[in-house]
Chain A
Amino acid sequence: MATMTPGVLGSFVHVDAATDAIRALKAQGHTDLTVYTPAPNHEIEEVLDHPVSPVRLFTLVGGLTGCAAGFAMTFWMSNDWPLLVGGKPIATVPPYVVLGFELMILLGALSTVAGVIIMSVVNARKRVPYSEKFSDDHIGVFVPCRAEQAAAVESLLKRAGSVEVTHAA
């Protein structure tokens, strides 16, 4: 664990204990917390008060690109080698709406996933300690701090109701 980010990791089984701790930490200027939960939790989201995820921009740009690509592809390909079918115009809007729509969804969805991955990786704090209990029923709060602050943080966490506190250095 030599490469870990130095700090203190506290585990909670009670959600109000965790929110208390987070509130207290934030009040003390510890804003750069990493909070683990087995499932998304509104109370914790509330106290963390993060800005809205920029993933929606990925969705928007992907969707618009897909839609434009769908129409551009169909119109260009139809006119690249004009072939007459069924007495209909060479390039027609109504049938191509379907393709514009499908590509909008496809690219929108793929770019959303890409957005989730990219944003998660970009914003992630590297080498944060983790416990397997956090995927089960514990809430983890990691407070990055220098060794000299560790004791104060630990006592804060314990006060809030942490069931277990470990130090990473």
Chain B
Amino acid sequence: MAHAYTPAQTHAEVTRDVVATLGTPSRGYVMMLAGAVGLFLVGLFTFVMLLKEGLGLAGYNPPVMWSTYITTFVFWVGIGHAGTLISAILFLFRSQWRTAVYRATEAMTVFAVMTAGLFPIIHIGRQWVFYWLLPYPNQRYLWPNFKSPLLWDVFAISTYLTVSTTFLVVGLVPDIAAVRDQVSGWRKKLYAACSLGWTGSDNQWRHYTRGYLYLAALATPLVLSVHSVVSWDFAMSIIPGWHGTIFAPYFVAGAIYSGIGMVFTLLIPLRKMLRVEHMIVDYHFDNLAKLTLFTGSILFYAYAMEYFVAWYSGNPFEQVTFWRRAFGPMWWAGWSMIICNAFVSQLLWFRKIRTNLTALFIISIFINIGMWFERYVIIVSSLSNDYEPWAWGQLNPTWADWGILAGSFGWFGMYFLLFARTFPIVAIQEIKETIPFPRKRGGH
């Protein structure tokens, strides 16, 4: 790999620079954390009100029985996928450029899935009995219904959260040990406890690298399956606009697309804030942007195919749904999804845009908005005009919808920011793996 990127640093510099990110927080960081906590409190208040009064506070308008909460759920699950793609799939493909960014994206995965996991609970009518979805022995001898895609969801999301958390923690252990060896006092004790006795001995590396490889190998089909399962929440139903065989790949591509968008949104400011600009460089963004272009193009195809299939099927229910998606009362949402995702992503054909971080940041905001709207359009526009014309209705979101959405960003941001200041956000060990050791005989 002649043009492969190799950091122009020594092993010791990597340790030093990364440990430096854990120093005294900057003013900007504190303000962002305060903002995140504030948003989280808004969400918490909204949730308490939902518990107290009922879901009626949100803008549900039957037949739209799922709305912004499920939209935001799918949004966050999707965000998670980019992290696993970069950390696991690219690991299997031995794409070395991932090393600088994978830790941040993997943390994003864990916190995004953590955020997403809250939504099914927020969304259900009786939040206090959410555990009834788990197969546990109870007095009534009742088991859940494994035919329901929602049960698949329960298993897929909880497996995903468990596996990606495990993957993150396993990857962190050597890095925590490295930090442990650089700090002193109580912090040393803390990192020592978290490092699980890691020394980097040949025995540890031998089992660790194997284990890490298998974890990546397991995470790869998992990441593909999770968003497929989420897509089947919709595709398994008989609702026109949901009932599509294209849904699984369409959703997986969308998930990765949205996740990389979020990676841009997070990393572009973060690398400045943590002063790791020299470690996360244009090269990484260029590669990420190419992935964005690729998945964005898949979305372009999927959108086109949805309309084509609706027209070609001759199924009037499908046709009306898609007609109304484009020209009905929700046309603005339908077009913002197409423009933000299918068209904006095409800008990334240009290398100049791919390496211009300001442009990428702006595009990433479009991606975030577009992908939220994609889910909103799929869910709300399909439900608002399905089989029974008499029952058609339009959703009007209320403060309770926006409060929970804002709260989810606060909750995610809070954890992500705390993580970024507590643990190495750039993978020390993996970067070091790409830096050749000095040789006494010179050369590489």
Q: A residues within 8 Å of B by Cβ?
A: 13-17, 33-41, 44-45, 48, 50, 52-53, 55-56, 59, 63, 73-74, 77-78, 80-81, 83, 85-86, 88, 92, 95-96, 98-99, 101-103, 105-106, 108-110, 112-113, 115-117, 119-120, 123-125, 128, 130, 132-137, 139, 161
B199 to A, closest residue via Cβ: A130
The answer on a CB contact under 8 Å between A34 and B201 is yes
Cβ contacts under 8 Å, B440 to chain A: 14, 16-17, 161
B83 interface contact, C-beta 8 A: no
Considering only residues 147-197 of chain B, those with a C-beta below 8 Å from chain A are: 147, 151-152, 155-156, 158-159, 162-163, 166-167, 170, 174, 177-178, 180-182, 196
The answer on a CB contact under 8 Å between A39 and B147 is no
B440 to A, closest residue via Cβ: A14
The answer on a CB contact under 8 Å between A120 and B204 is yes
- Chain A at the B interface: mostly helix, strand, loop or mixed? helix
B222 interface contact, C-beta 8 A: yes
Give the contacting residue for B429; candidates A17, A38, A117, A133; CB below 8 A.
Answer: A38
B437 interface contact, C-beta 8 A: yes
Q: Which of B155, B156, B199, B211 has most A Cβ within 10 Å? A: B211
Q: Given contacts A108-B218, A120-B208, are A102 and B199 in contact (CB under 8 A)?
A: no
Cβ contacts under 8 Å, B163 to chain A: 105-106, 109
A77 to B, closest residue via Cβ: B143
What are 18 inter-chain pairs, A to B, with CB distance below 8 A? A34-B203, A39-B200, A45-B202, A77-B144, A88-B147, A102-B225, A103-B155, A105-B222, A106-B158, A106-B163, A112-B214, A112-B218, A116-B170, A116-B207, A117-B196, A120-B204, A136-B12, A137-B432
The answer on a CB contact under 8 Å between A116 and B438 is no
Q: Given contacts A15-B438, A98-B152, are A135 and B177 in contact (CB under 8 A)?
A: yes
The 7 closest A-B pairs by CB, nearest first: A15-B437, A137-B11, A132-B181, A116-B211, A77-B143, A53-B210, A39-B432
A86 to B, closest residue via Cβ: B147
Q: Given contacts A81-B142, A102-B155, are A113 and B208 in contact (CB under 8 A)?
A: no
B200 to A, closest residue via Cβ: A36
Cβ contacts under 8 Å, B429 to chain A: 38-39
Bound-complex Cα distance A108 to B15 (A): 33
B432 to A, closest residue via Cβ: A39
The answer on a CB contact under 8 Å between A37 and B200 is yes
Q: Which of A74, A80, A125, A128 has most B Cβ within 10 Å? A: A74
Bound-complex Cα distance A34 to B163 (A): 31
Q: B residues within 8 Å of A by Cβ?
A: 10-12, 15, 135, 141-147, 151-152, 155-156, 158-159, 162-163, 166-167, 170, 174, 177-178, 180-182, 196, 199-211, 214-215, 218-219, 221-222, 225, 229, 232, 428-430, 432-433, 436-441
Closest-CB distance, B133 to chain A (whole angstroms):
13
Q: Given contacts A16-B440, A136-B15, are A59 and B214 in contact (CB under 8 A)?
A: yes
Cβ contacts under 8 Å, B441 to chain A: 16
- Chain B at the A interface: mostly helix, strand, loop or mixed? helix
In the complex, besides A83-B145, A115-B211, 14 extra interface pairs with C-beta distance below 8 angstroms are A14-B439, A36-B199, A44-B202, A45-B202, A53-B211, A55-B214, A99-B151, A105-B159, A105-B221, A106-B158, A116-B208, A124-B201, A137-B432, A139-B437
Bound-complex Cα distance A13 to B142 (A): 63
Bound-complex Cα distance A41 to B200 (A): 11
The answer on a CB contact under 8 Å between B166 and A56 is no
Closest-CB distance, A146 to chain B (whole angstroms):
21
The answer on a CB contact under 8 Å between B159 and A106 is yes
A125 to B, closest residue via Cβ: B203
Cβ contacts under 8 Å, B215 to chain A: 109, 112-113
The answer on a CB contact under 8 Å between B207 and A119 is yes
Give the contacting residue for A92; candidates B147, B205, B433, B437; CB below 8 A.
Answer: B147
Bound-complex Cα distance A14 to B430 (A): 19
Give the contacting residue for B178; candidates A38, A50, A95; CB below 8 A.
Answer: A38
Give the contacting residue for A115; candidates B203, B207, B437, B438; CB below 8 A.
Answer: B207
The answer on a CB contact under 8 Å between A81 and B141 is yes
The answer on a CB contact under 8 Å between A124 and B203 is yes
Q: Given contacts A102-B225, A110-B166, are A128 and B211 in contact (CB under 8 A)?
A: no
Bound-complex Cα distance A134 to B177 (A): 10
Bound-complex Cα distance A78 to B159 (A): 22
Q: Which of B177, B206, B209 has most A Cβ within 10 Å? A: B206
Bound-complex Cα distance A55 to B395 (A): 52
Closest-CB distance, A14 to chain B (whole angstroms):
4
Cβ contacts under 8 Å, A78 to chain B: 143, 146
The answer on a CB contact under 8 Å between A39 and B433 is yes
The answer on a CB contact under 8 Å between B218 and A105 is yes
The answer on a CB contact under 8 Å between B430 and A39 is yes
Q: Given contacts A109-B166, A120-B207, are A102 and B10 in contact (CB under 8 A)?
A: no
Bound-complex Cα distance A117 to B212 (A): 12
The answer on a CB contact under 8 Å between B211 and A112 is yes
Cβ contacts under 8 Å, B181 to chain A: 132-136
